[in-house]
Structure 1
């Protein structure tokens, strides 16, 4: 009993403090931003400009891995039951109020709830009673294909230019 309470407390505290969680449903594992609210992780996505939620289906389960905020490594893993919140319902309104406050860089910040109602899914990932064991091997995998690109390396002369500006200011 005590071990179950400790693992639930670990899941809650670690997930609250972590800005990202790794989630795997029936599709590929994804890193998702989330909000911890009323005993569950809330995520929004599958709409234009929002994070994809592949393999997360209403009534299904998902494996959630929470990273350590200071080291970035795997801290705790837990199995979640996935439930999609009905747009406009009281739980949906409560979830969206929490998510909206944490949504960074929204183009239409004032109209986010209306857009989410029309175009997105809001999911509740509720943890089970215990955590899952860490695997013995690394779970590293190559990144998923994306159209995003990395900017070019900084020119070799850039550090000298920046240092010369500092010297001129003095």
Structure 2
């Protein structure tokens, strides 16, 4: 194993998120697992959005890995994208790993079935590291989302909270 391969593997294993840029669309932060020499991720309804990135079987993607401690870029690498056939041997092994990392699944007991029928499990196999990391921040405008924030805190809430402490 070369130093570049070792850096890609160790950095990707330790990072909870990777930034994936497909042939089309914006770069997205995606959770993943490192398993048998590649990053595996799941996307689709109820999971992380991978549509619109062009992550089709045989496509090439650029993966940027951040530091778990500081959040800065450690390495960027190119990947060959492969979509796993549902319920195949490789799919089953990857899903076993992914299930352990999936937090707050609304249907944990039916997770494998849902992933097999409505989601895509992708394998991002490293094909090499890109050269130098960019000097700029690469900051981008956030993607549009239907998510909303809560309403402002009611003006009387701090006063009510202080009153509750005095009674004790």
Q: Counterpart of 1:62?
A: 61
Q: 1:7 touches 1:131 (CA, 8 Å); kept in 2?
A: no
Task: Tell me, in whole angstroms, the C-alpha distance in 2 between the residues paired with 1:168 and 1:13.
Answer: 54
**5+ long unaligned stretches in structure 2:** none
**How far is the alpha carbon of 1:134 from its aligned partner?**
0.9
Give yes or no for the alignment of 1:18 onto 2:54.
no
**How far is the alpha carbon of 1:14 from its aligned partner?**
1.2
RMSD: 1.9
Find 1:49's aligned residue among 46, 49, 57. Answer: 46
Deviations for 1:92-135, whole angstroms, at most 9, x for unmatched residues?
A: 00001111111111111011111111111100001123344211
**How far is the alpha carbon of 1:155 from its aligned partner?**
4.4
TM-score (norm 2): 0.88
Q: Counterpart of 1:36?
A: 34
**How far is the alpha carbon of 1:137 from its aligned partner?**
2.1
Match of 2:90, SS state, is: helix
**How far is the alpha carbon of 1:79 from its aligned partner?**
0.7
**5+ long unaligned stretches in structure 1:** none
**How far is the alpha carbon of 1:154 from its aligned partner?**
3.5
TM-score (norm 1): 0.87
Q: 1:79 touches 1:132 (CA, 8 Å); kept in 2?
A: no
- Give the length in aligned residue pairs: 165
Task: Tell me, in whole angstroms, the C-alpha distance in 2 between the residues paired with 1:162 and 1:75.
Answer: 44
Match of 2:121, SS state, is: strand
Task: Tell me, in whole angstroms, the C-alpha distance in 2 between the residues paired with 1:25 and 1:147.
Answer: 23
Matches within 5 A, 1:1-150: 5-26=2-23, 27-46=25-44, 48-53=45-50, 54=52, 55-150=54-149
Task: Tell me, in whole angstroms, the C-alpha distance in 2 between the residues paired with 1:32 and 1:162.
Answer: 38
Q: Counterpart of 2:153?
A: 154
